[in-house]
Amino acid sequence: MKKQAFNPYLPSWEYIPDGEPYVFGDRVYVYGSHDFYNGWVFCLGDYVCWSAPINDLSDWRYEGVIYPKTADPFNRDGHMCLYAPDVTVGPDGRYYLYYVLDKVSVVSVAVCDTPAGKYEFLGYVHYPDGTLLGNRKGDEPQFDPAVITEGDVTYLYTGFCGRGDRSRSGAQATVLDKDMLTVIGEPVIIAPGCMYSSGTGFEGHAFFEAPSIRKRGDTYYFVYSSEVMHELCYATSKEPRSGFEYGGVIVSNCDIGIGGYKPKEKPSAYGANNHGSIIEINGDWYIFYHRHTNGTWYSRQGCAEKISFTADGKIPQVEITSCGLNGGPLSGSGEYPAYIVSNLMSGVSGPYVGDPRIPKVVQDGSDGEECVGYLANISDGCIAGFKYFDIRGVKELGVTVRGYMHGAFEVKTSPDGEALGEIKVESANIWQKFTAPVRIPDGVSALWLCYKGGGNIHLKSFEFIC
């Protein structure tokens, strides 16, 4: 690769959650919704696309706006947001973009001749009599469309099931004709929401939102966000609209379910909702998901981790890291931006963002400005984890910080491990680097920075000095 690949995989000033990755030709394209930095609701932006060569997942290219929110006839004034989209190649070889606006419950479709060109509005998914799917009496509202095309038919998966709402049953699967718009197979429920999960095998991980569909061999993998929101789960079947059985959790954006470096059910990051999918790229499989920044729900960034399959097709849960698309650990030398943090904890416990006291990833400037992110709200007891590095011959570690402070960062390779060095820091009005000797053993390990002391710190970067 031209350079190393980090999480988030796009620049730190870009906010593309709900990522649906696809390989078209020799590039991988990611389609998602578009949050703003410091946005006040989800998905305020137009659809944009990023792509990378399949043999260099560090080299992402901005493809530009592929579809503005005002292109939909229901939204000429732009008062509605574009929620999570999906893309499929139709029987005619063209690319079809499916989406739902935030204040209606019907599915819109746009089309383009190329993966990342200018999509043009095509129409709304409808029954043969012209009634829009989602508007007919008895229809459940449409939300978060996912699509897969096989031959002349396209399978459309939709749904949202909030806790306590018995009017929504679960994830729906609908069949569309080769025109990509007309329903020829009416909606059926393939995975239950939490109000209907008792006795199904989905208990505790029932369908909430974010349907996504992929096929591996002869097996369909239905990926979705569960009732606890922070995790992406999956269910499998040999048929596209029946027989789905719960498979497990693929990833949690607060690492609940991952043990080893912490108790399994303890969160080690502040997460919230999740959305993404699995994809094979150049022989390896990955899960794409998103994390939350700025201490809110509304500024989300895309991340990815490598996954594996067992002999019987199961996907073991993977931990969140700083090096997801890198193909291995990062180099244990040089300087790294602090925004690639994978785990961030403090004395304010809980798996969800929102508390103003929690540490968080932020940036200077406003949305769209190319300002590198950093960590803020670092106070006594905060701990930041970065995983993983191939460390060889490191003698010192440096941190670049600013803020009113008087304390030290303990350097560790596990959150509860012994301190392998201590970097004392003092108040600075501009970014200032502080260094100290460390005793980090050679090998692949995580880096944990644990702050002890007073004040409120901004952490811009850290540096391995050999």
Residues with a catalytic annotation lie at 18, 209
Give strand ranges (E) for 151-226. 153-158, 170-176, 183-192, 207-216, 219-226
According to DSSP, the residues that pair with 157 across neighbouring strands are 146, 173
What would the two tokens of residue 84 be? 């999570």
For residue 223, how many other CB atoms are within 10 A of its CB?
27
Give every CB contact of residue 216 below 8 A, 6+ residues apart in sequence. 280, 309, 313
Report the candidate in 251, 203, 209 with the shortest Cα–Cα distance to residue 231. 251
How deeply is 366 buried, as exposed, middle or buried, from its count of CB atoms within 10 A (0-12, 13-18, 19+)?
exposed
Residue 213 phi/psi, 5-degree rounding, is: -130, 135
Report the candidate in 420, 450, 451, 423 with the shortest Cα–Cα distance to residue 438. 420
What span, in angstroms and rounded, lies between the C-alpha atoms of 97 and 421?
52
Given a contact cutoff of 8 angstroms between Cβ atoms, the answer to whether 257 and 231 are in contact is: yes
**Angle, CA of 415, 227 and 190, to the nearest 5°:** 130
Q: How many residues does the chain have?
A: 466
CA distances 370 to 43, 45, 88, 105, Å, are 19, 16, 31, 35
Give every CB contact of residue 199 below 8 A, 6+ residues apart in sequence. none
Q: Which helix H or strand E contains 390, and what residues bound it?
A: strand 383-391
Report the candidate in 248, 300, 322, 258 with the shortest Cα–Cα distance to residue 278. 248
What span, in angstroms and rounded, lies between the C-alpha atoms of 305 and 307?
6
Report the candidate in 302, 150, 137, 128 with the shortest Cα–Cα distance to residue 213. 150
How does strand 383-391 pair with strand 330-332?
parallel
What span, in angstroms and rounded, lies between the C-alpha atoms of 386 and 87?
33
Report the candidate in 297, 275, 410 with the shortest Cα–Cα distance to residue 353. 297
Given a contact cutoff of 8 angstroms between Cβ atoms, the answer to whether 319 and 387 are in contact is: yes
Report the candidate in 461, 358, 450 with the shortest Cα–Cα distance to residue 412. 450
Given a contact cutoff of 8 angstroms between Cβ atoms, the answer to whether 170 and 226 are in contact is: no
Amino acid code (one letter) for 316: P
